[in-house]
Chains A and B, each alone.
Chain A
Amino acid sequence: MTETLLTISGLTKAYPGVVANDNVSFEIGEGEVHALLGENGAGKSTLVKMIYGLVKPDSGSMTFQGKPFAPPEPRIARALGVAMVFQHFSLFDALNVAENISLGMEDPPSQRDLAARIREVSETYGLPLDPFRTVGDLSAGERQRVEIIRCLLQDPRLLIMDEPTSVLTPQEVEILFQTLRKLTAEGVAILYISHKLEEIRTLCDHATILRLGKNVGTCIPRETSARDMAEQMVGSAFEAPARPDRNLGAVALDVSGLSVTSPGTFGTSLRNIHFTVQQGEILGIGGVAGNGQDELLAALSGELTTDANAIKLHGSPVGSFGPTARRDLGLLTAPEERLGHAAAPDMSLTENAMLTAASREKLMNKGMLNWAKARIFANRIIEEFDVRTPGPENAARALSGGNLQKFVIGREVLQRPEVLVVNQPTWGVDAAAAASIRQALLDLAAGGAAIICISQDLDELMEISDRFCALNEGRLSDIRPALGLSVDEIGLMMGGAHGMEVSHADA
């Protein structure tokens, strides 16, 4: 824990129009867990890509185990003992676990020997995994195990983890942390990137904070409050969402006996789902990704139609209606995938505003589009939701994740929905933008709308929802008041740790 493993000094990387990293320096010691904090676009990903050899720095230098270190490609970095677990899993769905792991190794042994080594490592570190399962069939937690074991098989000295816990249940996070502690005890250093400040406080020894590509400070997370760290990241104080008083009204949305077969090969079908949401209420639906969230959103939005009586809006059946008809009645949705589902990436913000708001905001007259009105509406979204963009004629793709998310949520909120369904409203969004999105949802509920918030961020659900339930393998758990729920209870509602039985059955 004393020897310095990696020194970074004066690392700079500029892209056209933006300096991603500006003179960043810090050190990581052996056996240390070092957190890298910062908002979206602060330059964390670029920095770790430079360490992993995917991106070449413009200037600055690194030393690794006392020697100059400038990996021209990941292969070299891996050979020296740098391993990385990616934020968006770098896995191949159609290949099996052993093949996936083999692709991440320099000279892999034969498949049979590799399978044996995978079993061995997975048992040593308590990460059960069957080498011959197809990755596309695994849960998010199991997929991450594949990535971690891929790293561990190369005896890394430095393990880089980019947002590793965003898709895990609390139980799985606990297993992951135990594994990481075992590794640090063996002298492995960990560079840990996360938005979850409480996790960083429990796990990390040191933290470096980046803002707009610059190193703006370091802290010892155990001795710093989450709020202080967040404010250092943003550079100013911001308001935590306030929960205005709300009066619950009549039942706005009544879902009963909703069963939907998933259209995708690797999707999850919904099984007999029941819930109601009242006016002015926020229902939080938790659960690990891939347990039916996308299907539930599709069923509620009308992308998948069902039996008419399975979904009732203000008492009248709408289950057989498509998205446009449901929108006209006031049931609005904002899906998770910003680029491609919630917004058309290459279309301008005005066009994207037109796409969902055409009929509710009367931007259309007898099939003719009124672009002037659409532009005014897009400008209103930009203004009221503080979307940072040069103007509504910019393509959706050009916005950062957080700004586009504010636009997508703003577009639905400003259409005065009676029922709003959002999926992962703040995924990959920095703390300040997330706070403003949550505030907008709370204000909307205070105005009498019913809101269903599907999310994997439990802190978010606890912060805004009145009642909480979880999706697990397409089934909905009991619905319970959110106030006073413990982490353990939530974890059990989410189905505990996934896939623990798999390796035992195999062993």
Chain B
Amino acid sequence: MDLSSISPVLLLASLMVAATPILIAALGELVVERAGVLNLGIEGMMITGAICGFAVAVETGSPLLGFIAAAIGGALLSLLFVLLTQFALANQVASGLALTLFGLGLSALLGQKYVGVKPPPIAKLHIPVLSDIPFFGPVLFSHDIVVYLGLALVVAVWYMLKYTRAGLILRGVGENHDAAHALGYKVIRVRIMAITFGGACAGVGGAYISLIRVPQWTEGMTAGAGWIALALVVFASWKAGRVMLGAYLFGGVTVLQLNLQAAGVSIPVEYLSMSPYVITIIVLVIMSADKSRAPASLGRIFHATQ
């Protein structure tokens, strides 16, 4: 066992990378759930985004186009969910589970010829002065642009929900869709936009795994990240800031346990592997003990009667 082999700088730097996919996917789901829709299909949309992004990036050589394709792929899959739950009025839980299974299968099919291929690398930002600060430079200011996009998204979602008219309408729809309808708001339209946004976010999150974090394509490579994102939203009490905290905590413990495994700590590997899940959930459960509660219309089917 050699703990000195763990470098705190590298550990913290890779924490941000490990957290980004779940952070982006969870922010998308946060918006969806605030609009009163429970989409359990994040895992399926993530993996679909992962392969769409990977394939387009490989074919065009541009990681940026890859991320755009991933967003479109995730959003298209979420439109299937829209069709099922908003128009056919199907049960959201069952439809979401079906979406996950469908996404896993679809991505395996699309990805057949991409196994073992290397994607084009994405440049890490080098910000003059900031990136050169010792310790903080490599930890905070030397990542790829998507990491910062994720952070910007946290602020954008928080601000949108709290301070804008659109955010207020979205919360209203999620809180009481009958009342929102009575006031003349287009409940279905608001929800379609939210679900599509959630799909695009999940797609980008998935592509981050296949293009940057891993980077390669393997079947089922999201490995439950979508479920973690889903749990994060609930335990973060539907608050953007807490989603970020949870995602970074999860990313941090994931990276730490990998390092500990590599350093040969005498704890069975199984315990180390489960630790990110256990610790994240415990912390968020403790935090969610305040009075905040789920959007009141969450998971309920809206049908404009008469």
Using a CB–CB distance below 8 Å, which chain A residues touch chain B?
15, 46, 49, 53-55, 73-75, 78, 86, 88-95, 99, 102-104, 108, 265
Q: Which residues of B contact A73 (CB under 8 A)?
A: 184
A94–B293 touching, CB < 8 Å: yes
Scan residues 284-306 of chain B and give those whose CB is less than 8 A from a CB of chain A: 291, 293, 295-296, 306
Q: Which residues of B contact A103 (CB under 8 A)?
A: 168-169, 172, 180, 183, 185
Q: Which residues of A contact B295 (CB under 8 A)?
A: 94
Using a CB–CB distance below 8 Å, which chain B residues touch chain A?
165, 168-169, 171-172, 175-176, 178-180, 182-185, 291, 293, 295-296, 306
B175–A95 touching, CB < 8 Å: yes
Q: Which residues of A contact B296 (CB under 8 A)?
A: 93-94
Q: How far is the CA of A289 from the CA of B169 in the complex (A)?
A: 28
B183–A74 touching, CB < 8 Å: yes
Q: Which residues of A contact B172 (CB under 8 A)?
A: 92, 95, 99, 103
Within the complex, what minimum Cβ distance (angstroms) separates B174 from chain A? Answer: 9
Q: How far is the CA of A199 from the CA of B265 in the complex (A)?
A: 79
Q: Which residues of B contact A55 (CB under 8 A)?
A: 306
Q: How far is the CA of A73 from the CA of B183 in the complex (A)?
A: 9
Q: How far is the CA of A103 from the CA of B169 in the complex (A)?
A: 7
B184–A53 touching, CB < 8 Å: yes
A92–B171 touching, CB < 8 Å: yes
Q: Which of A46, A78, A86, A90 contacts B306 (CB 8 A)?
A: A46
Nearest residue in B to A107 (C-beta to C-beta)?
Answer: B165
23 residue pairs A–B, Cβ–Cβ below 8 Å: A15-B306, A46-B306, A53-B184, A74-B183, A74-B184, A88-B178, A90-B179, A90-B182, A91-B176, A92-B175, A93-B175, A93-B176, A94-B171, A94-B175, A95-B168, A95-B172, A95-B175, A99-B171, A102-B165, A103-B180, A103-B185, A104-B183, A265-B291
Q: Which residues of B contact A104 (CB under 8 A)?
A: 183
A86–B182 touching, CB < 8 Å: yes
Q: Which residues of B contact A86 (CB under 8 A)?
A: 179, 182
B184–A92 touching, CB < 8 Å: no
Nearest residue in A to B182 (C-beta to C-beta)?
Answer: A90
Nearest first, the 8 A-B pairs at minimum CB distance are A74-B184, A90-B179, A92-B175, A90-B182, A75-B184, A103-B172, A92-B176, A73-B184
Q: How far is the CA of A55 from the CA of B179 in the complex (A)?
A: 15
Within the complex, what minimum Cβ distance (angstroms) separates B19 from chain A? Answer: 29
Q: How far is the CA of A74 from the CA of B182 in the complex (A)?
A: 8
Q: How far is the CA of A189 from the CA of B180 in the complex (A)?
A: 25
Q: How far is the CA of A15 from the CA of B183 in the complex (A)?
A: 22
Within the complex, what minimum Cβ distance (angstroms) separates A134 from chain B? Answer: 10
Within the complex, what minimum Cβ distance (angstroms) separates B267 from chain A? Answer: 41
Q: Which residues of A contact B183 (CB under 8 A)?
A: 74, 90, 103-104
B306–A108 touching, CB < 8 Å: no
Nearest residue in B to A111 (C-beta to C-beta)?
Answer: B163
Q: How far is the CA of A96 from the CA of B175 in the complex (A)?
A: 12
Q: Which residues of A contact B185 (CB under 8 A)?
A: 103
Nearest residue in A to B163 (C-beta to C-beta)?
Answer: A111
A91–B179 touching, CB < 8 Å: yes
Within the complex, what minimum Cβ distance (angstroms) separates A94 from chain B? Answer: 5
Nearest residue in B to A78 (C-beta to C-beta)?
Answer: B184
A95–B171 touching, CB < 8 Å: yes
Q: How far is the CA of A92 from the CA of B179 in the complex (A)?
A: 7
B175–A54 touching, CB < 8 Å: no
Q: Which residues of A contact B169 (CB under 8 A)?
A: 103
B182–A265 touching, CB < 8 Å: no
Within the complex, what minimum Cβ distance (angstroms) separates B175 from chain A? Answer: 4
Within the complex, what minimum Cβ distance (angstroms) separates B301 from chain A? Answer: 13
Nearest residue in B to A20 (C-beta to C-beta)?
Answer: B306
Q: How far is the CA of A95 from the CA of B306 in the complex (A)?
A: 26
Within the complex, what minimum Cβ distance (angstroms) separates A273 from chain B? Answer: 26
A15-B306, A95-B168, A102-B168 given. 14 additional CB < 8 A pairs?
A54-B184, A73-B184, A74-B184, A86-B182, A88-B178, A89-B179, A90-B182, A92-B179, A94-B175, A99-B168, A99-B171, A102-B165, A103-B183, A108-B165
- A74-B184, A90-B182, A104-B183 are contacts. A265–B293 as well, Cβ < 8 Å? yes
Question: Which residue, of B169, B171, B175, B293, has the highest number of chain A Cβ atoms within 10 A?
Answer: B175
Within the complex, what minimum Cβ distance (angstroms) separates B300 from chain A? Answer: 13
Within the complex, what minimum Cβ distance (angstroms) separates B292 from chain A? Answer: 9
B179–A54 touching, CB < 8 Å: no
Q: Which residues of A contact B178 (CB under 8 A)?
A: 88, 90
Nearest residue in B to A76 (C-beta to C-beta)?
Answer: B184
Within the complex, what minimum Cβ distance (angstroms) separates A229 from chain B? Answer: 26
- A74-B183, A95-B171, A102-B168 are contacts. A49–B306 as well, Cβ < 8 Å? yes
Q: How far is the CA of A92 from the CA of B293 in the complex (A)?
A: 13
Within the complex, what minimum Cβ distance (angstroms) separates A207 from chain B? Answer: 24
Q: Which residues of A contact B184 (CB under 8 A)?
A: 53-54, 73-75, 78
